[in-house]
Chain A
C-alpha cells in the first residue's frame, strides 16, 4: 500500500513542479495571467493525475473482488482441493482472504463430519438393530414360551422394526439434504407413476381402490431418478394409506407444469401447514413414521419443485408444481 502511494505521488509532484516552472519562466506575460495559469494548469494536471491513480486503484480493487468471487464460486464443499487466494497489495484484502479461508475450512470440516456421520450411521446403527432383531427371531423359535412372554416378544419385535425403519428414513433425509443424489437425468413422471402404481398393485387391490388418471401432457423434470422414485412412492403410499375405507379412489391429474394425486379420506386433525414438518402426522395410523411428507418436501426443495396440500369436500390433494423462474 505504501509502495503504491509513493509510486503515484512522486511522479504527480514532479509533474506539478515542472508545470509551475514552465509557466513562470517560459511565458513571462502579465502576472494575472501567470497567476491564473499557475493555478489552473497544475490543478488540471493534478486532477488528471489523481483520476488516473484512482481509476487504476479501483481497477485493482475490482479485479481482486472478482477474483475472490470467482474462487468462491468455484469452491465445492465436497472437494478436498485447497482454496487459495492471490496475495494482495491491500492488507484489508489479505485479511479478508484469511478470514474466508478459515470460514471455508470450518464449513468443510462440518460438512465432512456430517457426511461421515450419514455414512457411518447406517452401518453403526443398523448392525445393533440387526442383532436385536435376530435374537428376537431366535427367541421366537423357543418351544417353551408362555403366551405372556410371546406377547412381549411381539411388542419388542414391532418396535424394533419401527426403529429400524425410522433410522433408514432419517438416513435418507440426511442424504437428500447433503445432496448425495447428484446424477440427474430427464425423468418422465407419467412412466414413473405407472411403475410406482405397479409396486403398490397388491395394496391397491386389497383396499379395492379405483385408480383414475387424467393426463394432458407429460410432466418432465431433470432430476435424480432415484429421488423421483422415492417422491412418487411416498405420495402414492400416502394416498393408499389415508384412503377412504368404504369407497377407495386415487385420482392422478397431470399436465406439463404440474401433477396432483388426490384421494378421499377423513378430514385432517392437524394444521395443513404442519403436514410437511417431521413427525407431524395423523396419529391414528400407528405404523406411519410421520416422515413421508417431509421427505417429499425435502426432495422438492432440492430440485425447484413446490408441493402443496389442498382439501375439498373430504378429498385430499397433493400437488407438485414446477417453480416459476423468478416470477415478478
Chain B
C-alpha cells in the first residue's frame, strides 16, 4: 500500500507518516505544491492525503489532476477550511472524503481504511477481525455464525474500534466520530461507556473473546 502525503506543516507530516508506517504502508511526502505535482505526475499511489493550503498553489488543483489521470487513487482532503462550500467543492472535484483540522489520527485512519476498501478491485462486503465478521453494506456483525444484535451506535463504535485495532482510541475521538462536534462532554462519555458495556455483554454472550479493553481515563482498545 503506497500513500502520498501532501502537507506543508513538517511536524504534522511526520506525525501522519509515523502513524501510517506502523500500519505497514509505504509513505511518500510532498511539502509544497510543486513537489506534490511532480510526484503525482511521475508515480502511482493507492492513496493521497492532500492539504489544501499549500505553498505555491491550491491543493484542490492537485486533486483535480489526480482524478483526471487516475481513477483508482483514493483521495482524502485534510484542511483547516471548514465551510460546507469547501467541502462540497472538494468532493465534487473528485476527493473521496474530506476531514477538517484538527483531526484525530484514529479518525483519519478509519476514514482511509473505509475509502481504500471502496476503491480496491476485489471489493468485498465483509471485513474480518478474529471471530467477528462485519457485513458493511448491511451493517451487521456475526460472531461464529451467530448474528450479534447491535444497535446502530453500538455497531458504529465497534467498527470504529476494530478499524483502529490494537491502538488506544480516545473517548473524544469516539464522540466526534459518532456525533461530529456536537457534544463532547460527560453525557457523551456516559453514553459511550454504557454502549461499550452492552457491547461487551453481547460479545461474551456469544462466546467471543474479550476484544474490548478499557484504557482507564482515556478510552478503549480493540485487541485481536
Q: Within 8 Å CB of A237, what residues of B? A: 182-183
Contact status A129-B102, CB under 8 Å: yes
Q: Give the distance in Å from the alpha carbon of A141 to the alpha carbon of B15 in the complex.
A: 13
Q: For the complex, is B138 an interface residue (Cβ under 8 Å from A)?
A: no
Q: For the complex, is B12 an interface residue (Cβ under 8 Å from A)?
A: yes
Contact status A207-B101, CB under 8 Å: no
Q: Give the distance in Å from the alpha carbon of A286 to the alpha carbon of B22 in the complex.
A: 35
Q: Give the distance in Å from the alpha carbon of A168 to the alpha carbon of B181 in the complex.
A: 10
Contact status A203-B19, CB under 8 Å: no
Write the A264-301 contact mask toward B (1 if CB under 8 angstroms, else 0). 00000000000000000000011110000000000000
Q: Give the distance in Å from the alpha carbon of A130 to the alpha carbon of B80 in the complex.
A: 10
Q: Within 8 Å CB of B105, what residues of A? A: 133-134, 137-138
Residues of chain B in range 17-64 having any CB-CB distance to chain A below 8 Å: 18-19, 22, 53
Q: Which of B9, B12, B19, B185 contacts A241 (CB 8 A)?
A: B185
Q: Give the distance in Å from the alpha carbon of A85 to the alpha carbon of B144 in the complex.
A: 82
Q: Which of B15, B80, B179, B181 contacts A131 (CB 8 A)?
A: B15
Contact status A138-B80, CB under 8 Å: no
Contact status A240-B218, CB under 8 Å: no
Write the B173-194 contact mask toward A (1 if CB under 8 angstroms, else 0). 0000011011111111011001
Q: Within 8 Å CB of A285, what residues of B? A: 185-186
Contact status B80-A202, CB under 8 Å: no
Write the B56-88 contact mask toward A (1 if CB under 8 angstroms, else 0). 000000000000000000000000111010000
Contact status B179-A122, CB under 8 Å: no
Q: Give the distance in Å from the alpha carbon of A285 to the alpha carbon of B188 in the complex.
A: 13
Q: A137-B106, A150-B218, A233-B182 are in contact. Are A126 and B101 (CB under 8 A)?
A: yes
Segment of A12-20, A45-53, A151-159 in the binding face: A151-159
Q: For the complex, is B92 an interface residue (Cβ under 8 Å from A)?
A: no
Closest to A120 in B: B80
Q: Give the distance in Å from the alpha carbon of A309 to the alpha carbon of B190 in the complex.
A: 29
Contact status A150-B187, CB under 8 Å: no
Contact status A203-B183, CB under 8 Å: yes
Closest to A233 in B: B182
Q: Give the distance in Å from the alpha carbon of A135 to the alpha carbon of B105 in the complex.
A: 9
Contact status B80-A199, CB under 8 Å: no
Q: Within 8 Å CB of A176, what residues of B? A: none
Q: Which of B104, B182, B183 contacts A133 (CB 8 A)?
A: B104
Contact status A138-B185, CB under 8 Å: no
Q: A154-B218, A157-B172 are in contact. Are A127 and B187 (CB under 8 A)?
A: no
Q: Give the distance in Å from the alpha carbon of A134 to the alpha carbon of B185 in the complex.
A: 20
Q: Which of B19, B22, B81, B187 contacts A134 (CB 8 A)?
A: B19
Q: Within 8 Å CB of A202, what residues of B? A: 153, 178-179, 191
Residues of chain A in range 134-152 having any CB-CB distance to chain B below 8 Å: 134-135, 137-138, 140-141, 150-151
- The range of chain B's interface size is 35 or more
Q: Which of A134, A135, A150, A199 contacts B217 (CB 8 A)?
A: A150
B40 → A minimal CB distance (Å): 23
Q: For the complex, is B206 an interface residue (Cβ under 8 Å from A)?
A: no
Q: For the complex, is B11 an interface residue (Cβ under 8 Å from A)?
A: yes
Q: Within 8 Å CB of A40, what residues of B? A: none
Q: Give the distance in Å from the alpha carbon of A320 to the alpha carbon of B170 in the complex.
A: 37
Residues of chain B in range 167-224 having any CB-CB distance to chain A below 8 Å: 167-168, 170, 172, 178-179, 181-188, 190-191, 194, 215-218
Q: Within 8 Å CB of B19, what residues of A? A: 134, 137-138
Contact status A134-B106, CB under 8 Å: no
Q: Which of B22, B153, B187 contacts A207 (CB 8 A)?
A: B187
Q: A123-B53, A133-B102 are in contact. Are A203 and B188 (CB under 8 A)?
A: yes
B residues in contact (CB < 8 Å) with A = 9, 11-12, 15-16, 18-19, 22, 53, 80-82, 84, 101-106, 153, 167-168, 170, 172, 178-179, 181-188, 190-191, 194, 215-218
Of the A-B pairs whose beta carbons lie under 8 Å apart in the complex, a sample of 25, sorted by A's number, is A122-B82, A123-B53, A130-B103, A131-B15, A133-B104, A135-B15, A137-B104, A137-B105, A138-B15, A140-B168, A140-B170, A141-B167, A154-B218, A157-B170, A157-B172, A199-B179, A199-B182, A200-B182, A202-B178, A202-B191, A203-B191, A226-B84, A237-B182, A240-B183, A285-B185
* 9 residue pairs, one from A and one from B, having the closest CB atoms: A130-B102, A287-B185, A154-B217, A123-B80, A134-B15, A140-B168, A131-B11, A206-B191, A137-B105
Query: Told that A127-B102, A131-B11, A150-B218 touch, could you supply 20 new A-B pairs with CB distance under 8 A?
Result: A122-B80, A123-B53, A126-B80, A126-B101, A127-B12, A129-B102, A134-B15, A135-B15, A138-B18, A140-B168, A140-B215, A141-B22, A150-B217, A157-B172, A161-B184, A165-B181, A165-B184, A199-B182, A203-B191, A240-B183
A residues in contact (CB < 8 Å) with B = 122-123, 126-131, 133-135, 137-138, 140-141, 150-151, 153-154, 157, 161, 164-165, 168, 199-200, 202-203, 206-207, 226, 233, 237, 240-241, 285-288
